[in-house]
Amino acid sequence: MSLLTSRSGEAMAQAELEASRARLVDAADEARRGLERNLHDGAQQRFVLALIWLQRAAAQTRDTSAAALVDHARDLVQEGVDELRDLAHGLHPAVLDKRGLHAALAAFTARAPLPVELHVAPRRASRPVEAAFYFAIAEALTNVFKHAHATRARVTVTVCDGALVAEVVDDGIGGASIAAGSGLRGLIDRLDTIGGTLTVDSPRGGPTTIRASAPLRRLTTPGGWGRTAEHAVAAPNSAMS
């Protein structure tokens, strides 16, 4: 009986640890959403208003000595708007909650420095799962852009046996490693809170394949938020071209 009691206690402690980690991730996600909204509704709107006034000023000062100064000021403000939009998007893209993973990743890759082929299954996952996958894929692609010396990349997100599976493949030099201290290492813990895993296959010379997998839904348990599981409804497989 004491052995059963000990195992039961260990299981409860593990469940509470996982629940605590999940709550921390949720709190961080909500904080990012709040900051993104504040940037969008506050500072970004003021930049946009200033840009409108500068555009009017540019029209009125055309062919005058002040035209170049106004144009320069307008360009600087436009750069500020773009940088602020990128910052807000990096915190937590609003499009992710509104339109899902495909739309958020399309927006992220639209300004990529190299071609990124994107195939994302239309099936929506739970909000924590979609957020974890978005940041995992974004971090993987950022590593490709910075370190892989690649000429192209491919992102594939499918639904298979009740799980969301993502692969990021590039044709770069390889040699990527989670143990080497890359930004991917921190994503392992995040994926673990939703019952997911992340693996890296990156031989010297390439190609590199980063794979993330997690159940579509995270379900509540008597001890709070625990490991994730898929609802009883089976998820259809998604074929990618």
Q: In what order do the strands lie in the sheet with 163-170?
A: 116-120, 153-160, 163-170, 208-215, 197-201
Nearest Cα to Cα of residue 214 among 154, 135, 99, 114: 135
Q: Which CATH architecture has domain 96-225?
A: 2-Layer Sandwich (3.30)
- What CA–CA distance (Å, rounded) separates 205 from 208? 9
Q: Are the beta carbons of 134 and 93 closer than 8 angstroms?
A: yes
Q: What's the confidence (pLDDT) of residue 3?
A: 56
What are the strands, taking DSSP E only, across 171-207?
Answer: 197-201
Q: What's the confidence (pLDDT) of residue 135?
A: 86
Task: Give residue 175's Cα distance to chain centre.
Answer: 23
Q: What's the confidence (pLDDT) of residue 222?
A: 31
Which sequence spans correspond to the domains of the chain? 2-91, 96-225
Walk along the chain (241 residues) in steps of 10 and give the mean pLDDT of each run: 62 67 66 64 73 88 90 85 68 82 92 94 89 90 92 97 95 86 72 88 95 76 32 30 34
